[in-house]
Amino acid sequence: MEQENEFSGQESLALITKMINKARRDYLDTGLSALLWGSVITFCSLVTFANHYLDWPALEYVWWLTVAAIIPQIVIVIREGKDRKYRAYEDDLIGGIWISFGIAIFLLAYIVSVYHVAEPAPLFLVLYGIPTFATGYARRFRPMLIGGVTCWVLAIVSHYTPYPYTMLSLAVAAQLAWFIPGLIIRKRYLKAKAQHVQRS
Amino acid sequence: MFKDLNPILHSQLRLAVISILISVKEAEFTYLREKTDATAGNLSVQINKLKEAGYIDVSKSFKDNYPQTICRITPQGVRAFEEYVRDLQSYLNIKK
């Protein structure tokens, strides 16, 4: 695109469309955050499920892993911010939604423990669905839309499911809402990165 | 009729830059270069023209000890782009 040639109206409209699509398609997350939380929640849920039968006291603290996972999450956010060459309009909005979710989930965990809620899984699943669906909606990313809806469906299912099977709902939700979309995003990211390296 | 189109925007590279900047909140110079396949020199000249017209804001800083140029469209740039698209559409409709 070096020349300042005269170009027709049709060409002009085609160029606008092409550039807008290029910028829109270019949204690329590394997928690491989704993979991290998908793995951590799946792991904690399955360990809790298994511990119902194993009954090892040490495993009761497995959910503290979610607190520890904040550290790699901060590292991921800082690195992604450094590598990002542009900011989309919805970036701040989506960032705000996930920060609110993070705060809400820890508050909910606190409230649930204070009030000794017998089966909190449906409450967590309802919350899981909100940022997941919102992100899928804003990014037009179907796997996260499906993941968000799945969380809400599983919230209803787990309301009628006895413990420890509710833990399996949490694990399935974490896989469908975060881990699998994370894998898809990661694959796209690595593919785009490889193409970029080839071009330069 | 065609000459009535905004001459600042009716240029391939400048229109490409504005079209990208209307889609994102802000973009680095390197990102614009990558998307438009332009040379750094030419892109720099066209960005300057858009800046002089008040259509974009350009801020320079340092990132990891390297100079970083960030461009974002101004409200005036948004209005100019919308008007350009309207003019283009009416031109194409008349032509039909």
What's the confidence (pLDDT) of residue A63? 95
What are residue B66's DSSP bridge partners?
Answer: B63
- Quick check: A16 and B15 CB within 8 A? yes
Residues, chain A, total? Answer: 200
Q: How far is A153 from chain B (nearest CA, A)?
A: 34
- Quick check: A4 and B85 CB within 8 A? no
Percent of chain B with pLDDT over 90: 73
B5 to chain A: closest CA residue: A9
CA distance B40 to A183: 35
Both tokens of residue A191?
């593919």
∠ at Cα A73 (A68, A77), nearest 5°? 160
* Other CB atoms within 10 Å distance of the CB of residue A192: 13
DSSP secondary structure letters along A80-121: HHHH--EE-THHHHHHHHHHHHHHHHHHHHHHHHHTT-S--H
Residues of chain B contacting residue A15, judged by C-beta atoms under 8 Å apart: 12, 15-16, 19
What's the confidence (pLDDT) of residue A36? 97
Strand pairing class (B26-28; B66-73): antiparallel
Mean of pLDDT values over B69-78: 96
Among the listed residues A186, A188, A177, A189, the one whose alpha carbon sits nearest the alpha carbon of residue A38: A177
- Quick check: A26 and B35 CB within 8 A? yes
What are residue B63's DSSP bridge partners?
Answer: B66
What's the confidence (pLDDT) of residue A84? 84
Residue A110 identity (one-letter amino acid) = Y
Q: Is the pLDDT of residue B3 over 80?
A: no
B31 to chain A: closest CA residue: A85
CA distance B72 to B5: 22
In chain B the first and final C-alpha atoms are separated, in Å, by: 13
Q: What is the pLDDT along chain A (200 residues), one digit of tens a residue?
A: 544 556 788 889 899 999 988 887 665 688 999 999 999 999 999 999 999 999 999 999 999 999 999 999 999 999 988 888 888 888 889 999 999 999 999 999 999 999 999 899 999 999 999 999 999 999 889 999 999 999 999 999 999 999 999 999 999 999 999 999 999 999 998 988 887 666 55
Q: Is the pLDDT of residue B61 over 90?
A: no
CA distance A108 to B82: 46
DSSP secondary structure letters along chain B: -GGGS-TTTSSHHHHHHHHHHHHSSEEEHHHHHHHHT--HHHHHHHHHHHHHTTSEEEEEEEETTEEEEEEEE-HHHHHHHHHHHHHHHHHHHHH-
- Quick check: B36 and A24 CB within 8 A? no
Token pair 């919102």: residue: A134
* Other CB atoms within 10 Å distance of the CB of residue B2: 13
pTM, 2 dp? 0.81
**Given CB atoms, is A198 within the 8 Å cutoff of chain B?**
no
Mean of pLDDT values over B58-87: 92
B36 to chain A: closest CA residue: A1
Q: Are A177 and A151 in contact (CB under 8 A)?
A: yes
What's the confidence (pLDDT) of residue B48? 96
